[in-house]
Amino acid sequence: MEKWARREDERLLSGKGRYVADIHVPGCLDAAFVRSKVAHGVLRAVDCTAARDVPGVVGAWSAADLPDLPPVPYTLLAGLSTEEAVAGREWSALVKDRVRYPGEALAVVLGEDRYRAEDGVAEVTATIDPLPAVVTPSAALKDSVRLFDGMSNVVLRGEAGEPVDPAVWEGAAAVVEATYRQQLLMPSPMECRTVLAVPDGDRLTVWSGHQMPHRLRRELAALLGWSADRIRVVVPDTGGAFGSKSAAFPEFVAVAHLAVKLGRPVRWIEDRLESMLVATRGRGQDQRVRLAADADGRLLAYELSIDADVGAYPHLGAGLPMQTAWMAAGAYTTPHVHATLRSVLTNTMVTYPYRGAGRPEAAIAIERTMDLLARRLGMDPVELRRRNFIPPDAFPYETPVGRVYDSGNYAAALDLALETLDHDRWRAEQARRRTDPDALPLGIGISCYVERSGGEAGGLHEFGSLQVTEDGRITARCGAAPSGQGHETVFPALVAKFLGVPEAQVRLIEGDTDEQPEGLGSFASRSAQVDGALFQHLANLLIEEARTRAAGLWELPVDQVAWTDGSVHTAHNGSALMDLGELVKHTGPLRIEDRFETGQAFPFGAHAAVTEVDPDLGLVNILQLVTVDDCGVILNPAVVRGQAYGSALQGIGQALYEGMQFDDDGVPHVASGFLDYLLPTFTEVPPIEAKDTHTPSPNSPLGAKGAGESGCIGTPAAIANAVADALPAVDPELLQMPLTPDRILRALRASTHEEDVR
């Protein structure tokens, strides 16, 4: 066995990893930000004078001190925002006159180190006249508190599918309705955000733990008014991202601007408290659903209305709820599906992609509602799903909300999940416990999800190259930027397989815009699907080029030159064998570059959970969790399963533990950091079995679909359904996530109260 399972492992296990905070640049200044303690208010004055006298402070600036400081850039990529939403709602990198979220930066201080910069921060004074804050969409919708004077808090209205004819609801045998709160979550990668800007002549090198280096380069170039080739963005080791590290954040704007202004290296290494205050959040939707079926349990119509909390500025993630709308139909053949949404500004840091990014919200809504319907119909939730699955022979399948699912076998995934869980045994145990007054109530929940990977139209491509040197070594480059997904291991192995050469002969370079001039990055579970297919395409081009060159060298027709295991040879008798290195020696430098595009892919799966609830303590105990995910053709099973397992725990986090909480004045409860916001630890890990089925995608030549977000998408509803199943007397509406002891106890008390009244 190789000493290291992944190429990344040796350095990361011996302290030789290189994250941005580890990079030593002589003379580098540390940035620290003065942050608003209120969620909403009118900024009257900021005074940095005293800060400038603090030893070790190099400068301190408010927005008034930096009239040329550009605003925070926005992107229309993947519909994250729209021109209409952004118009008139500029996001200043430092607050000019109005604070709109707690922690928003009022001033920046540069110091010789972070200690000195924070000394300076302590001396800056700011005067803010507080305004009432709104932190939920329902509060903000009233427009009684407006974030931008004279403008509505509703920045975007969207719709997918056609309105359902009222006759469908009237004629249905069963109609269920419900509301769900998809709470605000913190992505919480273990490495917070980082940026280091180093001026060098007329260029700027920017180091950042980031998912989209080329987008960062483009946005920084635009805000500096430079051509993109003057900026090099380098992504070294990145300590997790989960969707939260793909933008140019306000602090990045200030750092790049000051590095250029002063001609000195400047960095901002976000600390955890800052991250909890001002890093992007995920989820944040208030949903209303309505689902109708006939007496046999055949779905007739589904309606999903979303009020999405997009935070204080519509620049990031205003369009993200459309992802939810487009995925509303789930795994079912429901003939009528209609989703509508309003994106609403609130006094919180902006909502943005977090692992799943719109798909968990869709899956949780439909899957919880399927259980409500099963209960109403008196039908087994498993049978209800089976009756309505899109069958394997119906693909490609266009849903009423406009997605074209590529391939799937939803029943097979559910079968494997139930078999792995030993579903019948748990049902028997549940029946036994219901007759035993001393037993804790037990519930079984399933969740069958479909998601989307690869990205949106216009962003389904990637750029890359394969270069061969005279020693026969192959360097692969592409625009992806990993944050723990093992690309250095997976992609060279893939290229080696395509070319028939030893893996050790191939290396990968990613995350450097000077090495790879164009690229999109790593998001939307796209790297295996899109970059993997790109490398297959490049390998084919390389083989063709090698054969053409050999044919020229040997004065033969190309069709008489064959390729086997990394070498060209004559097709008829295998003579004149020449490996890639020799070929380059004889024919000159060899570099194949191209762009490759795949279609969207639709991974799916079935998750099943068994929970018991302690009615005295309100504690939910997960006895077993099974995840069955199908991401098509798997490139590296250990890597994919590792991500499936890890994302399942993040899904458990949403179901049971995590969620932003706010004071009445809109300030989040984060003063005690990770003691206020509870990430799952090993103590909370239940028995998890991660399995997979393999239905190739016809939309990518490799057949790979995206992996790694499955647990966040599929797991929460399985757990919530299991808790509801354990507590049949409790109104499921009261079982909103996170299902903390407090929430469970309140739900139990409310139902006891109702029973008493009856």
Partner 1 sequence: MKTTLKVNGTDHVLDVEPRRVLADVLRDDLGLTGTHLGCEHGVCGACSILMDGEPIRSCLVLAVQADGRSLRTVEGLTGPDGEPHPLQRAFSAEHALQCGFCTPGFLMVAAGAMDADPDLADHPEAMDHVVGSNICRCTGYGPIRRAVERAAQERRTA
Q: State the Cα–Cα distance between residues 350 and 105, nearest whole angstrom.
A: 14
- Shortest Cβ 267–partner 1 spacing (Å): 12
Residues 468-487 that bind partner 1 (CB under 8 A): 483-486
- Shortest Cβ 331–partner 1 spacing (Å): 25
Interface segment toward partner 1; rule CB under 8 A; list 14-22, 140-148, 157-165, 738-746? 14-22
- Shortest Cβ 712–partner 1 spacing (Å): 12
Q: Which helix (H) or strand (E) covers residue 313, if one does? A: none
E strands, 469-584, are: 474-478, 506-509, 561-564, 567-570, 578-579
Q: 6 or 214, CB closer to partner 1?
A: 6
Residues 304-323 that bind partner 1 (CB under 8 A): none
* Among 256, 364, 490, 648, interactor with partner 1 by CB under 8 A: 648
Q: Does 750 bind partner 1 (CB under 8 A)?
A: no
Q: 208 or 647, CB closer to partner 1?
A: 647
Q: 115 or 428, CB closer to partner 1?
A: 115
Token reading at 527: 């790297």
Q: Which residue has the tokens 């979303």?
A: 306
Burial of 681 (0-12, 13-18, 19+ CB in 10 A): exposed
Q: Which of 633, 629, 673 is nearest to 651 (CA)?
A: 629
Q: 188 or 399, CB closer to partner 1?
A: 188
Q: Does 623 bind partner 1 (CB under 8 A)?
A: no
- Shortest Cβ 450–partner 1 spacing (Å): 23
Burial of 687 (0-12, 13-18, 19+ CB in 10 A): exposed
- Shortest Cβ 675–partner 1 spacing (Å): 6
Q: 479 or 708, CB closer to partner 1?
A: 708
Q: Which of 639, 633, 634, 351 is nearest to 488 (CA)?
A: 639
Q: Does 649 bind partner 1 (CB under 8 A)?
A: yes
Q: What are phi and psi of 133, to 5 degrees?
A: -110, 150
Task: Specify the amino acid at residue 720.
Answer: A
**What character string, x for contact with partner 1 (CB under 8 A) and - otherwise, covers 502-521?**
--------------------
Interface segment toward partner 1; rule CB under 8 A; list 11-19, 43-51, 196-204, 449-457? 11-19
- Shortest Cβ 662–partner 1 spacing (Å): 21
- 161-165, long-range: CB < 8 A, 24+ apart: 161/325, 161/328, 161/336, 161/337, 161/338, 161/339, 161/400, 161/401, 161/402, 162/336, 162/338, 162/400, 163/338, 164/301, 164/303, 164/336, 164/338, 165/336
Q: Which residue has the tokens 């009257």?
A: 44
* Among 8, 104, 629, 692, interactor with partner 1 by CB under 8 A: 8
Q: Does 457 bind partner 1 (CB under 8 A)?
A: no
Q: 19 or 169, CB closer to partner 1?
A: 19
- Shortest Cβ 625–partner 1 spacing (Å): 10
* Among 87, 431, 504, 638, interactor with partner 1 by CB under 8 A: 638
Interface segment toward partner 1; rule CB under 8 A; list 153-161, 408-416, 433-441, 645-653? 645-653
Q: 273 or 750, CB closer to partner 1?
A: 273
Q: 341 or 670, CB closer to partner 1?
A: 670
Token reading at 697: 């995608």
Q: Does 9 bind partner 1 (CB under 8 A)?
A: yes
Q: Does 1 bind partner 1 (CB under 8 A)?
A: yes
* Among 102, 213, 239, 714, interactor with partner 1 by CB under 8 A: 239
* Among 90, 271, 296, 380, interactor with partner 1 by CB under 8 A: 271
**405-438: burial string, b at 16+ Cβ within 10 Å, e else:** bbbbbbbbbbbbbbebbebeebeebbeebeeeee
Q: Does 26 bind partner 1 (CB under 8 A)?
A: no
**What character string, x for contact with partner 1 (CB under 8 A) and - otherwise, covers 666-695?**
------xxxx---x-xxx-x--x-------
Interface segment toward partner 1; rule CB under 8 A; list 42-50, 270-278, 390-398, 748-756? 270-278
Q: Does 118 bind partner 1 (CB under 8 A)?
A: no
**Strand pairing partners for 689?**
626
Number of residues that bind partner 1 (CB under 8 A): 57
Interface segment toward partner 1; rule CB under 8 A; list 13-21, 397-405, 454-462, 745-753? 13-21
100 touches 257 (CB < 8 A) = no
Q: Which residues contact 367 (CB under 8 A, 6 or more apart)?
A: 330, 446, 447, 448, 449, 717, 718, 721
- Shortest Cβ 241–partner 1 spacing (Å): 8
E strands, 312-429, are: 336-345, 397-398, 404-405
- Shortest Cβ 86–partner 1 spacing (Å): 31
DSSP 441: P
Q: Which residue has the tokens 């009022």?
A: 106
Q: 20 or 318, CB closer to partner 1?
A: 20
DSSP 560: G
Give me the DSSP letters along 694-719: ----TTSTT-B---S-HHHHHHHHHH
CA atoms 204, 207, 212, 216: torsion sign: negative
Strands 299-311 vs 336-345: parallel, antiparallel or unpaired:
parallel
Q: Does 729 bind partner 1 (CB under 8 A)?
A: no
Q: Which of 696, 722, 715 is nearest to 645 (CA)?
A: 715
Q: Does 619 bind partner 1 (CB under 8 A)?
A: no
- Shortest Cβ 272–partner 1 spacing (Å): 4
Q: State the Cα–Cα distance between residues 195 and 399, nearest whole angstrom.
A: 42
Q: Which residue has the tokens 């306000």?
A: 250
302 touches 343 (CB < 8 A) = no
Q: 271 or 754, CB closer to partner 1?
A: 271
Q: Does 13 bind partner 1 (CB under 8 A)?
A: yes
- Shortest Cβ 648–partner 1 spacing (Å): 6
Task: Specify the amino acid at residue 14.
Answer: S
For 397, the 3-state DSSP assignment is strand
**What character string, x for contact with partner 1 (CB under 8 A) and - otherwise, covers 186-205?**
--xxxx--------------
DSSP 21: G
Q: 25 or 551, CB closer to partner 1?
A: 25
- Shortest Cβ 622–partner 1 spacing (Å): 13
For 442, the 3-state DSSP assignment is strand
Residues 272-291 that bind partner 1 (CB under 8 A): 272-273
- Shortest Cβ 674–partner 1 spacing (Å): 4
DSSP 736: P
Q: 137 or 716, CB closer to partner 1?
A: 716
- Shortest Cβ 644–partner 1 spacing (Å): 9
Rg (CA), the chain: 27
Q: Does 122 bind partner 1 (CB under 8 A)?
A: no
Interface segment toward partner 1; rule CB under 8 A; list 84-92, 435-443, 449-457, 634-642? 634-642
Q: Does 4 bind partner 1 (CB under 8 A)?
A: yes
Token reading at 609: 């959970």
Q: Does 6 bind partner 1 (CB under 8 A)?
A: yes
Strands 442-450 vs 404-405: parallel, antiparallel or unpaired:
unpaired
Chain positions contacting partner 1, by CB under 8 A: 1, 3-6, 8-10, 12-19, 21-22, 24, 113, 115, 188-191, 237-240, 242, 271-273, 483-486, 638-639, 642-643, 645-650, 672-675, 679, 681-683, 685, 688
